[in-house]
Amino acid sequence: MKYKWILFDADETLFHFDAYEGLNLMFSRFGITFTEQDFAEYQKVNKPLWVDYQDGVISAEQLQTIRFQPWAEQLNTTTQAINSAFLTAMADICAVLPGAKELLHNLKDRAQLGIITNGFTELQQIRLERTGLQDYFSTLIISEQVGVAKPDRGIFDFAFSQMGHPDRREVLMVGDNPHSDILGGMNAGIHTCWLNAYGQQVPEGIEPNYQVATLSELNELLLPAD
């Protein structure tokens, strides 16, 4: 295999991320019935915030504060308390995507594996522990800790310093988001693989080296049968 390092995104690349289910569970613990309409209103605020976060316009703390401000006022609590409760709920419902464990098991003796995620610190390690994936990865890079998010080259430069400055021709970035994972890998000068589960069109200006629909397909791409 030509790659000595394979870097993965987390949400919807290794882990299923169902925000509605997590919010539903979290609000039930506050005694609130969270509806699909509530979720639609939440997403009107949340989605633009994530774009601003990835573009470096706002910080992780600002994102976490702004998206839950109306609910904090309604529940007479803090945005930090709600955000923490949400991440706990997401950890409680976490599930590994099909093919992930098999892929990681097959790769672990052939390459070093890492995660670069724009997700938040509070969720990452507990999710790796609960799913039994923590031992597969030699590096875990979290944008909230680094202070810069994908697709900014800075988070990749930080990762490479933690990885011992590998030859970038021998590094592959795998992710489901073309605007953060694939563009980020391109900005960093490494090869990329888009996990395009829904057969979307490639966005203009973004050129992944590979596309796969499933992690099993990625397994076949990286480790073809003899």
Question: What are the residue numbers of the active site?
Answer: 9
Q: Residue-wise over 130-158: b if at least 16 C-beta within 10 A, else e? A: ebebeebbebbbbbbebebbbbbebbbeb
Q: Are 91 and 126 in contact (CB under 8 A)?
A: yes
Sequence-distant (6+) residues with CB within 8 A of 149 are 53, 54, 56, 60, 118, 143, 155, 180
**Beta-sheet pairing, 15-16 with 95-96:** antiparallel
